[in-house]
Every structure is written in structure tokens, then in C-alpha cells.
Amino acid sequence: MRTAWDSRRLTRTSATNDPLHAPRGDFFKPAAAAGMTLAGAAAVSPRAAAAHQDHEAEQPAEPSPFRDLRIAFVGVGGMGHAHVTQLADLGVQCPCFADVDTNMFGPAKERFQNAKEYQDYRVMLEKEHANIDGVIIATPDHHHYPATMLAMQRGKHVYTQKPLTHTPWEARQLAEAAQRFKVATQMGNQGHAGEGWRLVYEYYHGGHLGDVREVHTWTDRPIWPQGIPRSVDEDVPPRSLAWDLWLGPAPERPFRREAYHRFNWRGWWDFGAGALGDMACHTMDGLHWVLNPGHPTAIEPIAQGEMNGETFPKASMIRWEYPADGKRPAFVSYWYDGGLRPQVPEVLETGRKLPSTGNLFVGTKATLLVSGDYGESPRIIPESKAQEVGKPARILERSPGHMEEWLLAIKGDQPLDFPKASFAYAGPFSEKILLGNIALRVGRRLAWDGANMKFTNCPEANAFVTKEYRSGWRV
């Protein structure tokens, strides 16, 4: 007999692929895949099939429904490059884009040959705002708030990558500003538009899990350096990089090759939000959508690596406590990174393992295992219980696509609140996540007064709810 599941016990494991079941990502394979035939269908000769293909090729392409939208980009490398590719394929116009590193310009210029180039997005928004309908922001985290707020202040619709902001105060400010400026918004947690989190929602709201008392979320991050000190050495920035603009609102420091730009900034307090900020907006998305928890009453670091004031710890485990709200009882949420994992629940069959990243929703009727960062393959465990429950009844509408939600709202084909990860949702969500980083920073349990946005038992922690901005970057 296995002992009862102690949610505070930790085990360290190596990252593994999900061995539990095949991914459920093949729903949209065309019915006419190679080798597939339809019963009763008439046979088609190769010549007739070729003639049909030629006829189809001669038909003019349908005009894009988004062809009149004018979208600017802040950041065109990394995720910004992915956005450029996606929006070009969706047929939008791009009057201009900005990136602090001119080496990133190439692909954007190739897809939007007439777009104007800028290194400073403040200058771009000042000069080009009359030519822009919406702005997509894909920068290091410390630039999310100023770039997003500047765009909204000019009445522009905004799509901002996750985490929405660098601090809890910024998250609340953006959520309030989106309502004030009446613009369409979306955070870049793309899994929110997928099937998986909708199924999780339907398992819970269909009554199959009972009361959820614990949620455990873990990730295989960080995959960048954390728990390291700042180097005393410095390098000359490449000529393509405007280093002072890259620093933006953050305190001034020398450039160091490979330390910050273009990827490893995620592990630094001044620029990123660590493994928690980088991934929880994906992996904890279902928790916040499904349970709608409101403000936590307390946040506590249960375990963490050494802190040095410069970078996030190499590993951490954090707990949030959420009160009852009249519709559901109180529950606790746990986060694990850096190789830490929850204990394998006793309801999981012997020989089965937890995936490298995922969630466990522990209910009074059943436990739901969710594999992956985007809600992939939610499955009640054990398998005998999954077979008994079956697939939940559909409750939620399905999405036309995460980016498409935002574009349809800009066009006016859908209301401004049609994007399901709008700042009304993403602001409070990001705020709760970022409170976990403050608990890591001070290394103790914190009591949170969400309405007044302050910690009531640790005055020094309140300094990290917001931050100081360099001159020229305060919005």
C-alpha cells in the first residue's frame, strides 16, 4: 500500500517526455489523408484528380479578412519573429516595426518590405501612431509595461507577450488602462485558445472532479542560467545593438556578451521573471481560468535555491492560499521548477510517471492529470476512473485562434472583450503569479491584501510590488 499523498513532499527527477498517453493534437488532420478512403465513395481516376487539382490551383485566393488592419511590432526577433510570420500569413499590413537590435530587422523587412524601421519604440509610436491600428509587443519582460501603456495611451489595440508585466503593480495598471482606453487586448499565452484548457474547464464545471482542494503545477524550466552572480567583466556591445535602449527602464549596467541579450535575460531580476514568470502564464492558465480564484490571502516559498539579489534561484516551490468564494471551497496552489516535482499521487497506477511539465487538479471525486504547458491531454487518473467518467459535455465555445480573437475584436466583428486572455483576465492572472517572485525575494510567507495591493506582515516586501524606472521611461 502506498502512503497517503503528502503534498509538501518533494522529489527531484530528470525531465522526461509524457509516457502516459498519446497527445491529442491530431483532431484536424484532413479526412483525405494518404491511404484513407470513404466507404461508398466513387472511385476517382488519377487523370480526373489531376484535372481537379489544376482547376483548384487556378482559383484566386480568397482575400484576407484582416487585409485592412495595420499592425506594428515592438520586437521582431524570437517570439517577435514568430508574430511577424503569423501576421504576414494572416494578410495584415505593417506600417512599421521596432527592435533595439538591427540584426533582427531582416525577416520583418522581407515580409513587410514597405515598413519603416525603428530602434526606439517610443519614437515609432510618436511618429507613426496615426498609421497604426494595433501593436504586438514581444520584448524582454521589463519593457512590456512601458511599451504597452504607451500604445494604449494612443488608443491602439495591444497584444503583449507573457508574462503581461514585470511587476504586480504594472499588471493592475494595464488591466485598468485597457478598460479606460476601450481597446482590444490579448496576452500571448496561446494555449488559452486551445482545446485542452477548455476540456479542463468542462471536467470541473461538469462536476466530474468535485471540489478541488489542491492544484500542483510544475515545469521543466529554467533552461537558462539562474542562481548566478553578476559578472564584473564587460564587453563592447555589437554595433547593431542599442544597449541603452535595451536596458530601457532598468538600472544601468554594462553590456556582457551572452549574459542578457538575446535569451538569458529571463533569469535576471532586473529584466525577467524567472521560470515562474516565463512559464506559469502558460502552465497555470487552466487553474486561473477554471477556478477563478481572486486574490490569494497568502504566498509562501516552501523550498528554494540560494538567493543572491541578482538572479532567480535555480529551483523553487511556492504555495498560494485562496479563500472560499461562495461557489467553491478554499484551495491551495503549488508551483515547482528547477527539477522539483510533486509526489506521485497514489491514484496513479504503478509504473506510470508524471510528465516533465503539467498539472494535477486534486478533487474530492477525481484527480485530473494535465500534461504539457498548454493544457494538452487532460486525463482523469487512474485510467479505470477515466473510462467511467468519459469525455465531459461541451460548455465553452471554441476559439478561432488566439491571434484571430484579437484581430476580430480590432475589426469590430467581435466585441472588445472577445479575446479570452484580454487584460481583464491576464492582468489579475499575471499579478498573482508575480507575487510568487516577491515571496522568493524576501524568503518568507507573505500575507496579501489584494484590494489595497500590499503585504500586511512584511513591509519590506512592498518595495517589490512596483519598481523604480530610469529617467525617460516612466509612463
Q: Tens digit of pLDDT for each residue in 198-215?
A: 999 999 999 999 999 999
Query: For 143-167, what is each residue's pLDDT tens digit?
Result: 999 999 999 999 999 999 999 999 9
What does the pLDDT look like over 273-298, one tens digit per residue?
A: 999 999 999 999 999 999 999 999 99
Residue 123 pLDDT grade (very low, low, confident, very high; cuts 50, 70, 90)? very high
Residue 59: its pLDDT value, please?
57
Predicted TM-score of the model (pTM):
0.87
Asked if the model's pLDDT at residue 21 lies above 70, the reply is no
What pLDDT, on the 0 to 100 scale, is given for residue 60?
58
Q: Where are the alpha helices (DSSP H) in 24-91?
A: 46-58, 79-89
Given a contact cutoff of 8 angstroms between Cβ atoms, the answer to whether 272 and 143 are in contact is: no
Provide the residue count of the chain. 475
**Cα(35)–Cα(27) distance, integer angstroms:** 17
> What is the arithmetic mean of pLDDT over 223-243?
97
Q: What is the pLDDT of residue 47?
A: 39
Name the residue among 233, 239, 282, 285 with its Cα closest to residue 259. Answer: 233
Task: Grade residue 449 by pLDDT with cuts at 50, 70 and 90.
Answer: very high
Q: What is the pLDDT of residue 62?
A: 85
Residue 4 has pLDDT above 80, yes or no: no
Mean pLDDT of 110-121: 98
Contact 141, 172 (CB under 8 A): no
pLDDT tens digits for 46-68? 333 444 444 444 555 789 999 99
* Spatial CA neighbour of 141 closest among 122, 126, 157, 163: 163
pLDDT of 93 strictly over 50: yes
**Cβ contact 119:100 at 8 Å:** yes
427-452: average pLDDT:
98
Cβ neighbors of 217 (< 8 A, separation 6 or more) are 280, 283, 284, 287, 333, 334, 335, 336, 358, 359
Give residue 35's pLDDT: 30
pLDDT of residue 127: 98
Distance CA 55, CA 57 (A): 5
C-alpha span between 244 and 250 (Å, rounded) = 10
Tens digit of pLDDT for each residue in 8-19? Answer: 333 333 333 332
Q: Report CA dihedral (171, 460, 435, 173) to the nearest 10 degrees.
A: -10
**pLDDT of 108 higher than 50:** yes
Mean pLDDT, range 127-153, rounded to an integer: 98
pLDDT of 10 reads: 39
Q: What pLDDT does 46 receive? A: 37
Query: Helices (DSSP H) in 25-167: which residue ranges?
Result: 46-58, 79-89, 105-111, 121-128, 144-153
Q: What's the whole-number average pLDDT of the chain?
A: 89
Distance CA 200, CA 367 (A): 11
Percentage of the chain exceeding pLDDT 70: 87
What's the average model confidence in pLDDT over 255-270? 97
Q: Is the pLDDT of residue 136 over 90?
A: yes
91: alpha, beta or left, given left = phi > 0 and alpha = psi -120 to 50? left
Q: Which residue has the higher pLDDT, 57 or 352?
A: 352
**b/e burial code for range 341-357 (CB count within 10 A of at least 16 → b):** bbbbbebbeeeeebbbb
Per-residue 3-state assignment (H helix, E strand, C coil) for 252-311: CCCCCCCCCCCCHHHHECCCCCHHHHHHHHHHCHHHHHHHCCCCCCEEEEEEECCCCCCE
Q: Name the residue with cell 496579501.
A: 448
The per-residue pLDDT for 233 is 94
Determine what percent of the chain is predicted with pLDDT higher than 90: 86
| pLDDT at site 61 | 72
Instruction: Give residue 129's pLDDT band: very low, low, confident or very high (50, 70, 90).
Output: very high
CB 196 within 8 A of CB 377: yes
**pLDDT band at residue 362 under the 50/70/90 scheme:** very high
Contact 315, 338 (CB under 8 A): yes
